[in-house]
Chains A and B, each alone.
Chain A
Amino acid sequence: MTDPIVQLRDIGVRFGTVPVLVAVDLTIAPGEVVGVAGPNGSGKTTLLGVVATLIRPSSGTGRVLGAALGTDDVRRVRRRIGLSGHEPAVYPDLTLAENLRFVARVAGVTVEAADRALADVGLAAAADRPAGRSSHGMQRRIDLARMLMLEPDLVLLDEAHAGLDQDAEVIIDVILERTRRRRGGALLVSHDAERLTRQVDRVLRIEAGATV
Protein backbone atom coordinates (compact mmCIF):
# COMPACT_ATOMS: atom_id res chain seq x y z
CA MET A 1 0.00 0.00 0.00
CA THR A 2 2.05 2.93 -1.20
CA ASP A 3 -0.66 5.08 -2.71
CA PRO A 4 0.61 8.64 -3.00
CA ILE A 5 -0.63 11.15 -0.42
CA VAL A 6 -1.23 13.67 -3.19
CA GLN A 7 -1.41 13.08 -6.91
CA LEU A 8 -2.30 15.92 -9.27
CA ARG A 9 -2.42 15.53 -13.05
CA ASP A 10 -2.58 18.56 -15.34
CA ILE A 11 -4.56 20.62 -12.83
CA GLY A 12 -5.99 23.96 -13.95
CA VAL A 13 -7.83 26.57 -11.89
CA ARG A 14 -9.66 29.62 -13.14
CA PHE A 15 -11.04 32.43 -11.03
CA GLY A 16 -13.87 33.66 -13.22
CA THR A 17 -12.19 33.70 -16.59
CA VAL A 18 -8.69 34.34 -15.27
CA PRO A 19 -6.54 31.22 -15.31
CA VAL A 20 -4.40 31.03 -12.20
CA LEU A 21 -3.14 27.49 -12.56
CA VAL A 22 -2.84 26.03 -16.04
CA ALA A 23 -0.94 22.77 -15.88
CA VAL A 24 0.22 21.49 -12.56
CA ASP A 25 1.53 17.99 -11.94
CA LEU A 26 2.43 17.02 -8.42
CA THR A 27 2.95 13.80 -6.55
CA ILE A 28 3.71 13.54 -2.86
CA ALA A 29 4.68 10.06 -1.76
CA PRO A 30 4.10 8.82 1.80
CA GLY A 31 6.81 10.22 4.02
CA GLU A 32 7.76 12.90 1.53
CA VAL A 33 8.07 16.64 2.13
CA VAL A 34 7.90 18.81 -0.97
CA GLY A 35 8.73 22.50 -1.23
CA VAL A 36 7.13 24.88 -3.69
CA ALA A 37 9.01 27.86 -5.06
CA GLY A 38 8.07 30.47 -7.59
CA PRO A 39 7.66 34.23 -8.09
CA ASN A 40 4.72 36.33 -6.81
CA GLY A 41 1.46 35.49 -8.53
CA SER A 42 2.69 32.19 -9.92
CA GLY A 43 -0.14 30.32 -8.22
CA LYS A 44 1.59 28.80 -5.19
CA THR A 45 -1.15 29.71 -2.72
CA THR A 46 -3.84 28.54 -5.13
CA LEU A 47 -2.03 25.23 -5.50
CA LEU A 48 -2.07 24.86 -1.74
CA GLY A 49 -5.80 25.57 -1.76
CA VAL A 50 -6.37 22.85 -4.35
CA VAL A 51 -4.34 20.31 -2.38
CA ALA A 52 -6.28 21.32 0.75
CA THR A 53 -9.49 20.41 -1.18
CA LEU A 54 -10.72 23.96 -0.62
CA ILE A 55 -10.41 25.14 -4.22
CA ARG A 56 -12.14 23.06 -6.84
CA PRO A 57 -9.95 22.56 -9.93
CA SER A 58 -11.51 23.65 -13.22
CA SER A 59 -9.62 21.00 -15.17
CA GLY A 60 -7.38 18.01 -14.65
CA THR A 61 -7.67 15.23 -12.11
CA GLY A 62 -6.31 14.76 -8.65
CA ARG A 63 -6.50 12.63 -5.54
CA VAL A 64 -5.70 13.76 -2.03
CA LEU A 65 -5.42 11.08 0.68
CA GLY A 66 -7.30 8.81 -1.71
CA ALA A 67 -10.25 11.15 -2.29
CA ALA A 68 -10.92 12.41 -5.81
CA LEU A 69 -10.80 16.21 -6.01
CA GLY A 70 -14.00 17.94 -7.03
CA THR A 71 -16.20 15.21 -5.53
CA ASP A 72 -17.94 14.97 -2.17
CA ASP A 73 -15.37 12.32 -1.31
CA VAL A 74 -13.05 15.03 -0.07
CA ARG A 75 -15.30 15.61 2.95
CA ARG A 76 -14.17 12.44 4.64
CA VAL A 77 -10.45 13.24 4.31
CA ARG A 78 -10.54 16.93 5.24
CA ARG A 79 -10.11 16.19 8.92
CA ARG A 80 -6.70 14.68 8.05
CA ILE A 81 -5.45 17.84 6.34
CA GLY A 82 -3.68 20.61 8.26
CA LEU A 83 -3.38 24.01 6.63
CA SER A 84 -1.58 27.09 7.79
CA GLY A 85 -2.14 30.00 5.45
CA HIS A 86 -0.22 33.25 5.42
CA GLU A 87 -2.94 34.82 7.53
CA PRO A 88 -3.20 32.82 10.79
CA ALA A 89 -6.60 31.26 11.49
CA VAL A 90 -7.25 32.65 14.96
CA TYR A 91 -10.10 34.46 16.69
CA PRO A 92 -8.68 37.77 17.87
CA ASP A 93 -11.18 38.06 20.75
CA LEU A 94 -10.32 34.67 22.22
CA THR A 95 -7.18 33.98 24.19
CA LEU A 96 -4.46 31.80 22.70
CA ALA A 97 -5.53 28.90 24.93
CA GLU A 98 -9.21 29.36 24.06
CA ASN A 99 -8.38 29.37 20.37
CA LEU A 100 -6.75 25.97 20.61
CA ARG A 101 -9.36 24.54 22.95
CA PHE A 102 -12.17 25.56 20.64
CA VAL A 103 -10.46 23.76 17.77
CA ALA A 104 -9.87 20.72 19.98
CA ARG A 105 -13.53 20.49 20.98
CA VAL A 106 -14.83 20.88 17.43
CA ALA A 107 -12.37 18.29 16.19
CA GLY A 108 -13.14 15.93 19.06
CA VAL A 109 -9.69 16.06 20.68
CA THR A 110 -9.13 16.48 24.42
CA VAL A 111 -8.60 19.90 25.95
CA GLU A 112 -5.45 18.52 27.55
CA ALA A 113 -4.00 17.90 24.09
CA ALA A 114 -4.67 21.54 23.26
CA ASP A 115 -2.93 22.80 26.38
CA ARG A 116 0.00 20.46 25.77
CA ALA A 117 0.40 21.74 22.22
CA LEU A 118 0.30 25.32 23.48
CA ALA A 119 3.12 24.55 25.90
CA ASP A 120 5.05 22.68 23.21
CA VAL A 121 5.18 25.75 20.97
CA GLY A 122 6.37 27.86 23.90
CA LEU A 123 3.21 29.84 24.54
CA ALA A 124 2.14 28.42 27.93
CA ALA A 125 3.01 31.70 29.65
CA ALA A 126 0.94 33.65 27.10
CA ALA A 127 -2.07 31.31 27.31
CA ASP A 128 -4.48 33.98 28.59
CA ARG A 129 -3.45 36.68 26.18
CA PRO A 130 -6.05 37.57 23.54
CA ALA A 131 -4.89 36.40 20.11
CA GLY A 132 -5.66 39.82 18.66
CA ARG A 133 -3.13 41.39 21.00
CA SER A 134 -0.45 38.84 20.23
CA SER A 135 2.20 39.28 17.57
CA HIS A 136 1.94 37.76 14.12
CA GLY A 137 4.66 35.29 15.05
CA MET A 138 2.70 34.14 18.12
CA GLN A 139 -0.39 33.67 15.99
CA ARG A 140 1.67 31.60 13.55
CA ARG A 141 2.76 29.45 16.45
CA ILE A 142 -0.91 28.81 17.25
CA ASP A 143 -1.35 27.55 13.69
CA LEU A 144 1.59 25.23 14.22
CA ALA A 145 0.38 24.12 17.64
CA ARG A 146 -2.83 23.04 15.93
CA MET A 147 -0.82 20.76 13.67
CA LEU A 148 0.98 19.22 16.64
CA MET A 149 -2.37 18.67 18.32
CA LEU A 150 -4.35 17.25 15.38
CA GLU A 151 -1.48 15.31 13.74
CA PRO A 152 -2.72 15.70 10.16
CA ASP A 153 -1.56 13.22 7.52
CA LEU A 154 -1.14 16.04 5.05
CA VAL A 155 0.61 19.17 6.27
CA LEU A 156 0.30 22.33 4.16
CA LEU A 157 2.29 25.41 5.10
CA ASP A 158 1.94 28.61 3.12
CA GLU A 159 4.77 31.12 3.61
CA ALA A 160 6.04 28.58 6.09
CA HIS A 161 8.77 30.79 7.50
CA ALA A 162 7.09 34.18 7.44
CA GLY A 163 7.00 35.84 10.83
CA LEU A 164 8.76 32.99 12.62
CA ASP A 165 12.04 33.38 14.46
CA GLN A 166 14.84 30.83 14.52
CA ASP A 167 13.41 29.37 17.75
CA ALA A 168 10.12 28.66 16.06
CA GLU A 169 11.92 26.95 13.21
CA VAL A 170 12.27 23.85 15.33
CA ILE A 171 8.48 23.57 15.57
CA ILE A 172 8.28 23.15 11.82
CA ASP A 173 11.16 20.67 11.96
CA VAL A 174 9.28 18.60 14.54
CA ILE A 175 6.00 18.73 12.62
CA LEU A 176 7.75 17.56 9.47
CA GLU A 177 9.67 14.87 11.31
CA ARG A 178 6.50 13.48 12.85
CA THR A 179 4.68 13.68 9.54
CA ARG A 180 7.46 11.73 7.84
CA ARG A 181 7.37 9.13 10.57
CA ARG A 182 3.60 8.79 10.17
CA ARG A 183 4.21 8.26 6.42
CA GLY A 184 2.17 11.37 5.77
CA GLY A 185 3.08 14.11 3.32
CA ALA A 186 3.79 17.81 3.43
CA LEU A 187 3.86 20.72 1.03
CA LEU A 188 5.70 23.90 1.98
CA VAL A 189 5.62 27.24 0.24
CA SER A 190 8.38 29.62 1.20
CA HIS A 191 10.42 32.52 -0.11
CA ASP A 192 13.28 31.56 2.13
CA ALA A 193 15.09 29.19 -0.27
CA GLU A 194 17.82 28.44 2.25
CA ARG A 195 15.46 27.27 5.00
CA LEU A 196 13.28 25.52 2.46
CA THR A 197 16.01 23.39 0.93
CA ARG A 198 17.13 22.33 4.38
CA GLN A 199 13.65 21.07 5.30
CA VAL A 200 12.25 19.47 2.16
CA ASP A 201 13.12 16.42 0.11
CA ARG A 202 12.73 18.22 -3.20
CA VAL A 203 11.57 21.55 -4.56
CA LEU A 204 8.87 21.98 -7.15
CA ARG A 205 9.18 25.12 -9.25
CA ILE A 206 6.06 26.80 -10.47
CA GLU A 207 5.87 29.69 -12.93
CA ALA A 208 2.79 31.43 -14.34
CA GLY A 209 0.51 28.67 -13.12
CA ALA A 210 2.49 25.73 -14.45
CA THR A 211 5.03 23.35 -12.97
CA VAL A 212 8.40 23.60 -14.69
Chain B
Amino acid sequence: MTKRILPVLAGLALVAALAVALSSPPDVLQGDFVRILYIHVANAWLAFLAFGVTAAASIGWLVRKKPGYDRVAAASAEIGVLFTAVTLFTGMIWGKPIWGTFWDWGDARMASTALMFFVYLGYLALRRATPDRQARARRSAILGVIAVVQVPLVYFSVVLWRTLHQGLTIRPDSVQMEPAMLVALLVNVGAFSLLYLALLTARVRLARLEEAVEAHERAPAGRAVTAPRLETGQ
Protein backbone atom coordinates (compact mmCIF):
# COMPACT_ATOMS: atom_id res chain seq x y z
CA MET B 1 0.00 0.00 0.00
CA THR B 2 2.80 2.41 0.96
CA LYS B 3 4.25 1.94 -2.49
CA ARG B 4 1.40 4.07 -3.86
CA ILE B 5 0.73 6.39 -0.94
CA LEU B 6 4.30 7.60 -0.56
CA PRO B 7 4.85 8.86 -4.13
CA VAL B 8 1.46 10.57 -4.15
CA LEU B 9 2.18 12.18 -0.80
CA ALA B 10 5.62 13.28 -1.97
CA GLY B 11 4.14 14.72 -5.17
CA LEU B 12 1.51 16.71 -3.28
CA ALA B 13 4.07 17.95 -0.81
CA LEU B 14 6.36 19.13 -3.62
CA VAL B 15 3.52 21.06 -5.23
CA ALA B 16 2.74 22.66 -1.86
CA ALA B 17 6.43 23.40 -1.30
CA LEU B 18 6.68 25.08 -4.67
CA ALA B 19 3.59 27.16 -3.94
CA VAL B 20 4.96 28.26 -0.56
CA ALA B 21 8.36 29.04 -2.04
CA LEU B 22 6.81 31.16 -4.79
CA SER B 23 4.35 32.96 -2.53
CA SER B 24 6.75 33.74 0.33
CA PRO B 25 7.96 37.36 0.52
CA PRO B 26 11.06 38.31 -1.51
CA ASP B 27 14.26 38.83 0.45
CA VAL B 28 15.44 42.37 1.22
CA LEU B 29 18.88 41.74 -0.21
CA GLN B 30 18.41 38.87 -2.65
CA GLY B 31 14.95 39.66 -3.97
CA ASP B 32 13.28 36.75 -5.73
CA PHE B 33 16.54 34.81 -5.96
CA VAL B 34 16.01 33.70 -2.37
CA ARG B 35 13.41 31.25 -3.68
CA ILE B 36 16.19 29.14 -5.20
CA LEU B 37 17.61 28.68 -1.73
CA TYR B 38 14.55 26.83 -0.48
CA ILE B 39 15.26 24.04 -2.93
CA HIS B 40 19.02 24.39 -2.59
CA VAL B 41 19.14 24.09 1.19
CA ALA B 42 16.54 21.32 1.32
CA ASN B 43 18.52 19.29 -1.22
CA ALA B 44 21.78 19.87 0.59
CA TRP B 45 20.37 18.62 3.88
CA LEU B 46 18.79 15.61 2.27
CA ALA B 47 22.01 14.78 0.43
CA PHE B 48 23.86 14.67 3.74
CA LEU B 49 21.11 12.53 5.23
CA ALA B 50 21.23 10.19 2.24
CA PHE B 51 25.00 9.69 2.54
CA GLY B 52 24.59 9.22 6.28
CA VAL B 53 22.09 6.44 5.58
CA THR B 54 24.54 4.88 3.10
CA ALA B 55 27.25 4.93 5.76
CA ALA B 56 24.99 3.39 8.41
CA ALA B 57 23.73 0.72 6.00
CA SER B 58 27.33 -0.07 4.97
CA ILE B 59 28.30 -0.69 8.57
CA GLY B 60 25.10 -2.69 8.95
CA TRP B 61 26.06 -4.90 6.03
CA LEU B 62 29.58 -5.51 7.35
CA VAL B 63 28.15 -6.55 10.71
CA ARG B 64 25.09 -8.53 9.61
CA LYS B 65 25.85 -9.47 5.96
CA LYS B 66 22.15 -9.14 5.07
CA PRO B 67 21.48 -8.12 1.44
CA GLY B 68 18.81 -5.65 2.59
CA TYR B 69 21.50 -3.35 4.01
CA ASP B 70 23.32 -3.33 0.70
CA ARG B 71 20.17 -2.39 -1.21
CA VAL B 72 19.48 0.52 1.13
CA ALA B 73 23.12 1.69 1.00
CA ALA B 74 23.14 1.63 -2.81
CA ALA B 75 19.73 3.27 -3.21
CA SER B 76 20.53 6.01 -0.74
CA ALA B 77 23.88 6.76 -2.42
CA GLU B 78 22.22 7.11 -5.81
CA ILE B 79 19.62 9.51 -4.43
CA GLY B 80 22.31 11.35 -2.49
CA VAL B 81 24.31 11.89 -5.68
CA LEU B 82 21.17 13.19 -7.40
CA PHE B 83 20.41 15.59 -4.55
CA THR B 84 24.03 16.74 -4.42
CA ALA B 85 23.92 17.49 -8.13
CA VAL B 86 20.76 19.56 -7.61
CA THR B 87 22.44 21.29 -4.66
CA LEU B 88 25.49 22.23 -6.70
CA PHE B 89 23.44 23.31 -9.70
CA THR B 90 21.02 25.49 -7.72
CA GLY B 91 23.94 26.87 -5.74
CA MET B 92 25.65 27.99 -8.93
CA ILE B 93 22.60 29.61 -10.54
CA TRP B 94 21.94 31.41 -7.25
CA GLY B 95 25.58 32.42 -6.92
CA LYS B 96 25.78 34.16 -10.29
CA PRO B 97 23.29 36.99 -9.51
CA ILE B 98 24.08 37.20 -5.79
CA TRP B 99 27.86 36.75 -5.63
CA GLY B 100 28.50 37.65 -9.25
CA THR B 101 30.09 34.28 -9.99
CA PHE B 102 28.94 30.70 -10.60
CA TRP B 103 31.66 29.25 -8.47
CA ASP B 104 33.02 30.97 -5.39
CA TRP B 105 36.15 29.36 -4.02
CA GLY B 106 35.60 31.49 -0.92
CA ASP B 107 32.73 29.25 0.11
CA ALA B 108 34.12 26.15 1.78
CA ARG B 109 30.78 24.37 1.65
CA MET B 110 30.64 24.51 -2.14
CA ALA B 111 34.06 22.97 -2.55
CA SER B 112 33.48 20.26 0.02
CA THR B 113 30.04 19.47 -1.40
CA ALA B 114 31.59 19.06 -4.84
CA LEU B 115 34.25 16.75 -3.40
CA MET B 116 31.58 14.70 -1.64
CA PHE B 117 29.80 14.44 -4.98
CA PHE B 118 32.94 12.90 -6.48
CA VAL B 119 33.43 10.52 -3.54
CA TYR B 120 29.97 9.06 -4.06
CA LEU B 121 30.26 9.06 -7.84
CA GLY B 122 33.26 6.84 -7.19
CA TYR B 123 31.13 4.72 -4.85
CA LEU B 124 28.57 4.20 -7.61
CA ALA B 125 31.33 3.51 -10.15
CA LEU B 126 32.78 0.84 -7.86
CA ARG B 127 29.37 -0.79 -7.61
CA ARG B 128 28.94 -0.75 -11.37
CA ALA B 129 32.39 -2.25 -11.86
CA THR B 130 31.78 -5.20 -9.54
CA PRO B 131 29.62 -7.84 -11.21
CA ASP B 132 29.30 -10.36 -8.37
CA ARG B 133 26.63 -9.28 -5.91
CA GLN B 134 28.34 -10.49 -2.75
CA ALA B 135 31.65 -8.89 -3.75
CA ARG B 136 29.83 -5.70 -4.72
CA ALA B 137 28.12 -5.50 -1.35
CA ARG B 138 31.38 -6.10 0.50
CA ARG B 139 33.55 -3.72 -1.47
CA SER B 140 31.04 -0.89 -1.50
CA ALA B 141 30.35 -1.33 2.22
CA ILE B 142 34.08 -1.03 2.90
CA LEU B 143 34.31 2.09 0.76
CA GLY B 144 31.24 3.40 2.58
CA VAL B 145 33.11 3.02 5.86
CA ILE B 146 36.31 4.61 4.54
CA ALA B 147 34.25 7.52 3.23
CA VAL B 148 32.62 8.04 6.63
CA VAL B 149 36.04 8.38 8.22
CA GLN B 150 37.43 10.60 5.49
CA VAL B 151 34.58 12.88 4.37
CA PRO B 152 34.49 14.91 7.62
CA LEU B 153 38.23 15.53 7.20
CA VAL B 154 37.69 16.64 3.61
CA TYR B 155 35.05 19.09 4.82
CA PHE B 156 37.19 20.23 7.74
CA SER B 157 40.29 20.76 5.60
CA VAL B 158 38.42 22.96 3.13
CA VAL B 159 36.93 25.01 5.96
CA LEU B 160 40.38 25.35 7.47
CA TRP B 161 41.76 26.46 4.14
CA ARG B 162 39.22 29.31 3.93
CA THR B 163 39.32 30.45 7.54
CA LEU B 164 43.10 30.65 7.62
CA HIS B 165 43.47 32.49 4.36
CA GLN B 166 40.47 34.78 4.18
CA GLY B 167 38.90 34.93 7.59
CA LEU B 168 35.30 33.97 8.16
CA THR B 169 33.04 35.54 5.60
CA ILE B 170 29.52 36.47 6.49
CA ARG B 171 27.13 35.43 3.80
CA PRO B 172 23.64 36.84 3.24
CA ASP B 173 22.12 33.40 3.86
CA SER B 174 23.44 33.24 7.39
CA VAL B 175 21.53 36.36 8.38
CA GLN B 176 18.52 35.91 10.68
CA MET B 177 15.56 34.60 8.75
CA GLU B 178 12.07 36.02 8.55
CA PRO B 179 9.38 33.63 9.90
CA ALA B 180 7.57 33.35 6.53
CA MET B 181 10.84 32.38 4.88
CA LEU B 182 11.67 29.89 7.61
CA VAL B 183 8.25 28.27 7.04
CA ALA B 184 8.92 28.09 3.30
CA LEU B 185 12.27 26.45 3.97
CA LEU B 186 10.84 23.92 6.41
CA VAL B 187 7.99 23.02 4.05
CA ASN B 188 10.56 22.39 1.34
CA VAL B 189 12.73 20.28 3.61
CA GLY B 190 9.65 18.26 4.53
CA ALA B 191 8.62 17.81 0.91
CA PHE B 192 12.08 16.72 -0.19
CA SER B 193 12.28 14.34 2.77
CA LEU B 194 9.11 12.68 1.51
CA LEU B 195 10.59 12.57 -1.98
CA TYR B 196 13.70 10.95 -0.56
CA LEU B 197 11.65 8.30 1.23
CA ALA B 198 9.55 7.64 -1.88
CA LEU B 199 12.63 7.29 -4.10
CA LEU B 200 14.43 5.17 -1.54
CA THR B 201 11.61 2.66 -1.12
CA ALA B 202 11.04 2.52 -4.88
CA ARG B 203 14.74 1.96 -5.59
CA VAL B 204 15.07 -0.72 -2.93
CA ARG B 205 12.00 -2.47 -4.32
CA LEU B 206 13.45 -2.25 -7.81
CA ALA B 207 16.73 -3.77 -6.63
CA ARG B 208 14.83 -6.65 -5.05
CA LEU B 209 12.93 -7.23 -8.29
CA GLU B 210 16.14 -7.14 -10.32
CA GLU B 211 17.58 -9.84 -8.10
CA ALA B 212 14.41 -11.91 -8.41
CA VAL B 213 14.60 -11.71 -12.20
CA GLU B 214 18.22 -12.78 -12.07
CA ALA B 215 17.43 -15.67 -9.78
CA HIS B 216 14.49 -16.86 -11.87
CA GLU B 217 15.03 -20.39 -13.12
CA ARG B 218 18.75 -20.46 -12.61
CA ALA B 219 19.96 -24.02 -12.80
CA PRO B 220 23.27 -25.05 -11.25
CA ALA B 221 26.11 -23.85 -13.46
CA GLY B 222 27.17 -27.41 -14.23
CA ARG B 223 23.88 -28.21 -15.92
CA ALA B 224 24.69 -25.78 -18.68
CA VAL B 225 27.56 -28.00 -19.82
CA THR B 226 26.60 -30.95 -22.03
CA ALA B 227 28.61 -33.55 -23.93
CA PRO B 228 30.36 -32.19 -27.06
CA ARG B 229 28.49 -32.83 -30.33
CA LEU B 230 31.60 -34.14 -32.03
CA GLU B 231 32.77 -37.59 -32.90
CA THR B 232 36.19 -38.76 -33.99
CA GLY B 233 36.82 -40.41 -37.34
CA GLN B 234 34.35 -38.31 -39.31
Contact = CB atoms under 8 A, between A and B. Distances in A.
Q: Do chains A and B touch in the complex (CB under 8 A)?
A: yes
Interface of A: 15-22, 38-43, 207-210
B222 A17 contact: no
B218 A208 contact: no
B215 interface: yes
Size band of the B side of the interface? 10 to 19
Given A15-B132, A18-B221, A19-B218, 9 more contacts: A15-B221, A17-B214, A17-B215, A19-B221, A38-B222, A39-B222, A39-B225, A41-B225, A208-B220
Contacts of A42: 222, 225
A28 B27 CA distance: 79
Contacts, number: 48
Interface in B190-223: 211, 214-215, 218-223
Interface of B: 131-134, 211, 214-215, 218-225
By Cβ-Cβ distance, the 9 closest A-B pairs, closest first, are A17-B215, A209-B220, A208-B222, A41-B225, A42-B222, A41-B222, A16-B133, A17-B214, A208-B220
Nearest to B132: A16
27 contacts: A15-B132, A15-B134, A15-B221, A16-B132, A17-B211, A17-B214, A18-B218, A18-B220, A18-B221, A19-B218, A19-B221, A20-B220, A20-B221, A22-B220, A38-B222, A39-B222, A39-B225, A40-B222, A40-B225, A41-B225, A42-B225, A43-B221, A43-B222, A207-B222, A208-B219, A208-B220, A208-B223
Specify the main secondary structure of chain B where it touches its partner. helix
Given A16-B133, A16-B134, A43 B214 contact: no
A13 B150 CA distance: 35
A209 B221 contact: yes
